[in-house]
Amino acid sequence: MNFDSPPADPIATCEAWFSEARERCSVPNSHAMALSTVDDQGRPSCRMVLLKGFDRRGPVFYTNRQSQKGIELDGSQQASLLFFWDELERQIRINGSVEVVSDKEADDYFTTRPRGSQIGAWASDQSRPCPDRETMEASVREVESKYEGQPVPRPPHWVGYRVRPESIEFWQGGGFRMHDRLLYSAEADGTWTVCRLWP
Protein backbone atom coordinates (compact mmCIF):
# COMPACT_ATOMS: atom_id res chain seq x y z
CA MET A 1 0.00 0.00 0.00
CA ASN A 2 1.14 3.51 -0.77
CA PHE A 3 0.55 5.35 2.51
CA ASP A 4 0.93 8.75 0.82
CA SER A 5 -1.63 7.95 -1.84
CA PRO A 6 -3.99 5.52 -0.15
CA PRO A 7 -6.97 3.84 -1.82
CA ALA A 8 -10.31 5.48 -1.09
CA ASP A 9 -11.72 2.26 0.36
CA PRO A 10 -10.00 0.12 3.04
CA ILE A 11 -11.89 -3.14 2.45
CA ALA A 12 -9.73 -4.40 -0.43
CA THR A 13 -6.60 -3.59 1.59
CA CYS A 14 -7.94 -5.66 4.51
CA GLU A 15 -8.56 -8.57 2.15
CA ALA A 16 -5.09 -8.23 0.62
CA TRP A 17 -3.40 -8.11 4.03
CA PHE A 18 -5.42 -11.11 5.31
CA SER A 19 -4.43 -13.18 2.29
CA GLU A 20 -0.78 -12.10 2.48
CA ALA A 21 -0.77 -13.09 6.15
CA ARG A 22 -2.14 -16.53 5.21
CA GLU A 23 0.46 -17.00 2.48
CA ARG A 24 3.54 -15.46 4.06
CA CYS A 25 3.29 -16.10 7.81
CA SER A 26 4.58 -19.35 9.26
CA VAL A 27 2.15 -19.25 12.21
CA PRO A 28 -0.87 -21.58 11.92
CA ASN A 29 -3.42 -19.03 13.14
CA SER A 30 -2.66 -16.02 11.00
CA HIS A 31 -6.41 -15.33 11.12
CA ALA A 32 -6.39 -14.96 14.92
CA MET A 33 -7.34 -11.56 16.30
CA ALA A 34 -7.61 -9.97 19.72
CA LEU A 35 -11.18 -9.01 20.57
CA SER A 36 -11.74 -6.29 23.16
CA THR A 37 -15.06 -5.74 24.86
CA VAL A 38 -16.21 -3.65 27.82
CA ASP A 39 -18.55 -4.56 30.64
CA ASP A 40 -21.37 -2.37 31.92
CA GLN A 41 -18.88 -0.47 34.12
CA GLY A 42 -16.64 0.31 31.14
CA ARG A 43 -13.99 -2.22 32.26
CA PRO A 44 -12.18 -3.71 29.26
CA SER A 45 -11.37 -7.38 28.57
CA CYS A 46 -9.40 -8.84 25.73
CA ARG A 47 -9.12 -12.38 24.29
CA MET A 48 -8.24 -14.10 21.03
CA VAL A 49 -10.84 -15.29 18.52
CA LEU A 50 -10.59 -16.55 14.95
CA LEU A 51 -11.70 -14.62 11.87
CA LYS A 52 -14.24 -16.79 10.07
CA GLY A 53 -15.64 -14.40 7.51
CA PHE A 54 -14.92 -11.01 6.03
CA ASP A 55 -16.61 -8.80 3.50
CA ARG A 56 -17.70 -5.19 3.12
CA ARG A 57 -20.04 -5.62 6.12
CA GLY A 58 -17.10 -6.46 8.42
CA PRO A 59 -15.27 -9.34 10.08
CA VAL A 60 -17.15 -12.29 11.63
CA PHE A 61 -16.22 -14.61 14.47
CA TYR A 62 -18.17 -17.29 16.33
CA THR A 63 -18.61 -17.85 20.03
CA ASN A 64 -20.95 -18.67 22.88
CA ARG A 65 -23.39 -15.84 23.42
CA GLN A 66 -23.55 -16.66 27.14
CA SER A 67 -19.78 -16.25 27.58
CA GLN A 68 -18.27 -13.14 29.13
CA LYS A 69 -17.57 -11.69 25.68
CA GLY A 70 -21.08 -12.55 24.46
CA ILE A 71 -22.68 -10.80 27.42
CA GLU A 72 -20.44 -7.77 26.97
CA LEU A 73 -21.00 -7.59 23.21
CA ASP A 74 -24.76 -7.79 23.68
CA GLY A 75 -24.56 -5.11 26.39
CA SER A 76 -22.29 -2.48 24.82
CA GLN A 77 -22.88 -3.43 21.16
CA GLN A 78 -19.27 -2.33 20.55
CA ALA A 79 -16.01 -4.17 19.88
CA SER A 80 -12.42 -3.56 18.95
CA LEU A 81 -10.47 -6.14 16.95
CA LEU A 82 -6.73 -6.28 16.48
CA PHE A 83 -4.72 -8.38 14.04
CA PHE A 84 -0.95 -8.53 14.41
CA TRP A 85 1.49 -10.24 12.04
CA ASP A 86 4.99 -10.06 13.45
CA GLU A 87 6.63 -11.43 10.31
CA LEU A 88 5.02 -8.76 8.16
CA GLU A 89 5.41 -5.95 10.72
CA ARG A 90 1.75 -5.18 10.28
CA GLN A 91 -1.33 -4.67 12.38
CA ILE A 92 -4.93 -3.81 11.60
CA ARG A 93 -7.34 -2.41 14.16
CA ILE A 94 -11.06 -2.50 13.42
CA ASN A 95 -13.51 -0.78 15.76
CA GLY A 96 -17.25 -0.79 15.37
CA SER A 97 -20.69 -1.80 16.45
CA VAL A 98 -21.62 -5.48 16.57
CA GLU A 99 -24.52 -7.47 15.23
CA VAL A 100 -25.37 -11.16 15.44
CA VAL A 101 -25.17 -12.87 12.04
CA SER A 102 -28.29 -14.54 10.65
CA ASP A 103 -29.25 -18.05 11.80
CA LYS A 104 -28.63 -19.28 8.25
CA GLU A 105 -25.10 -17.85 8.14
CA ALA A 106 -24.29 -19.39 11.54
CA ASP A 107 -25.88 -22.74 10.59
CA ASP A 108 -23.94 -22.85 7.33
CA TYR A 109 -20.66 -22.30 9.12
CA PHE A 110 -21.52 -24.66 12.02
CA THR A 111 -22.09 -27.55 9.62
CA THR A 112 -18.52 -27.15 8.28
CA ARG A 113 -16.98 -27.60 11.74
CA PRO A 114 -15.50 -30.92 12.86
CA ARG A 115 -18.04 -33.02 14.78
CA GLY A 116 -15.92 -32.79 17.93
CA SER A 117 -16.12 -29.01 17.82
CA GLN A 118 -19.88 -29.18 17.25
CA ILE A 119 -20.21 -31.37 20.33
CA GLY A 120 -17.95 -29.03 22.29
CA ALA A 121 -20.27 -26.14 21.47
CA TRP A 122 -23.04 -27.93 23.41
CA ALA A 123 -20.80 -29.41 26.10
CA SER A 124 -19.05 -26.22 27.20
CA ASP A 125 -20.66 -23.72 29.52
CA GLN A 126 -18.09 -21.21 28.29
CA SER A 127 -16.72 -18.74 30.84
CA ARG A 128 -18.63 -20.31 33.78
CA PRO A 129 -16.84 -22.01 36.71
CA CYS A 130 -15.98 -25.67 35.99
CA PRO A 131 -15.11 -27.96 38.93
CA ASP A 132 -12.66 -30.29 37.18
CA ARG A 133 -11.61 -31.96 33.91
CA GLU A 134 -13.77 -35.03 34.58
CA THR A 135 -16.87 -32.84 34.66
CA MET A 136 -15.90 -31.46 31.23
CA GLU A 137 -15.33 -34.91 29.80
CA ALA A 138 -18.61 -36.20 31.24
CA SER A 139 -20.40 -33.30 29.58
CA VAL A 140 -18.82 -34.21 26.22
CA ARG A 141 -19.85 -37.88 26.65
CA GLU A 142 -23.40 -36.87 27.46
CA VAL A 143 -23.70 -34.74 24.29
CA GLU A 144 -22.05 -37.47 22.19
CA SER A 145 -24.57 -40.04 23.34
CA LYS A 146 -27.49 -37.64 22.87
CA TYR A 147 -26.59 -37.09 19.20
CA GLU A 148 -25.22 -40.53 18.41
CA GLY A 149 -25.97 -41.45 14.80
CA GLN A 150 -27.42 -38.04 13.94
CA PRO A 151 -26.17 -34.62 12.93
CA VAL A 152 -25.36 -32.19 15.74
CA PRO A 153 -27.55 -29.09 15.43
CA ARG A 154 -26.15 -25.65 16.20
CA PRO A 155 -26.84 -24.65 19.81
CA PRO A 156 -28.99 -21.50 19.90
CA HIS A 157 -26.39 -19.82 22.14
CA TRP A 158 -23.56 -20.48 19.63
CA VAL A 159 -23.62 -17.46 17.37
CA GLY A 160 -21.59 -15.37 14.99
CA TYR A 161 -20.87 -11.71 15.62
CA ARG A 162 -20.07 -9.26 12.86
CA VAL A 163 -18.20 -6.07 13.70
CA ARG A 164 -19.51 -3.30 11.46
CA PRO A 165 -16.39 -1.19 10.90
CA GLU A 166 -16.60 2.41 12.04
CA SER A 167 -12.85 2.81 11.80
CA ILE A 168 -10.05 0.73 10.30
CA GLU A 169 -6.42 1.48 11.00
CA PHE A 170 -3.49 0.00 9.07
CA TRP A 171 -0.03 -0.02 10.63
CA GLN A 172 3.12 -0.97 8.78
CA GLY A 173 6.35 -1.11 10.75
CA GLY A 174 9.20 1.10 9.57
CA GLY A 175 12.82 1.70 10.55
CA PHE A 176 13.60 3.57 13.77
CA ARG A 177 9.92 3.54 14.76
CA MET A 178 8.94 5.70 11.82
CA HIS A 179 5.96 3.49 11.14
CA ASP A 180 3.28 4.19 8.55
CA ARG A 181 -0.28 4.48 9.84
CA LEU A 182 -3.54 5.15 8.05
CA LEU A 183 -6.83 5.67 9.80
CA TYR A 184 -10.04 5.22 7.79
CA SER A 185 -13.28 6.50 9.33
CA ALA A 186 -16.65 5.42 7.96
CA GLU A 187 -19.03 8.17 6.87
CA ALA A 188 -22.81 7.93 7.03
CA ASP A 189 -23.10 7.72 3.23
CA GLY A 190 -20.93 4.60 3.05
CA THR A 191 -17.74 6.39 1.96
CA TRP A 192 -14.54 6.66 4.01
CA THR A 193 -12.31 9.50 5.07
CA VAL A 194 -8.66 8.65 5.41
CA CYS A 195 -5.94 10.28 7.46
CA ARG A 196 -2.25 9.49 7.91
CA LEU A 197 -1.26 9.36 11.59
CA TRP A 198 2.08 10.05 13.23
CA PRO A 199 3.58 6.78 14.46
Ligand X SMILES: Cc1cc2nc3c(=O)[nH]c(=O)nc-3n(C[C@H](O)[C@H](O)[C@H](O)COP(=O)(O)O)c2cc1C
Nearer to ligand X, 93 or 180 (CB): 93
- Cα(179)–Cα(169) distance, integer angstroms: 13
CB of 62 vs ligand X, minimal distance in Å: 6
Q: Which of 49, 81, 143, 163 binds ligand X (CB under 6 A)?
A: 49
Q: Which of 8, 50, 130, 195 binds ligand X (CB under 6 A)?
A: 50
Burial of residue 36 (number of CB atoms within 10 Å: 0-12, 13-18, 19+): middle
Give the span between the Cα atoms of 161 and 68, in whole angstroms: 14
Q: How far is the CB of 154 from ligand X (least distance, A)?
A: 14
Q: Does 13 bind ligand X (CB under 6 A)?
A: no
Identify whether 115 is a catalytic site residue.
no
- Asked if 152 contacts 122 with a C-beta cutoff of 8 angstroms, the reply is yes
CA-nearest of 49, 57, 166, 141 to 105 is 57
Site for ligand X in 56-85 (CB under 6 A): 61-64, 67-69
Helix (H) or strand (E) holding 60: strand 58-64
What part of residues 94-133 is at the interface with ligand X (CB under 6 A)? Answer: 126-127
Which residues inside 17-36 make contact with ligand X, applying CB under 6 A?
29, 32
Instruction: Give the nearer residue to ligand X in terms of CB position, either 67 or 97.
Output: 67
Residues 140, 133 contacting (CB under 8 angstroms): no
49, 35 contact by CB (below 8 A): yes
Active-site positions read: 177
List contacts with ligand X (CB under 6 A).
29, 32, 45, 47-50, 61-64, 67-69, 126-127
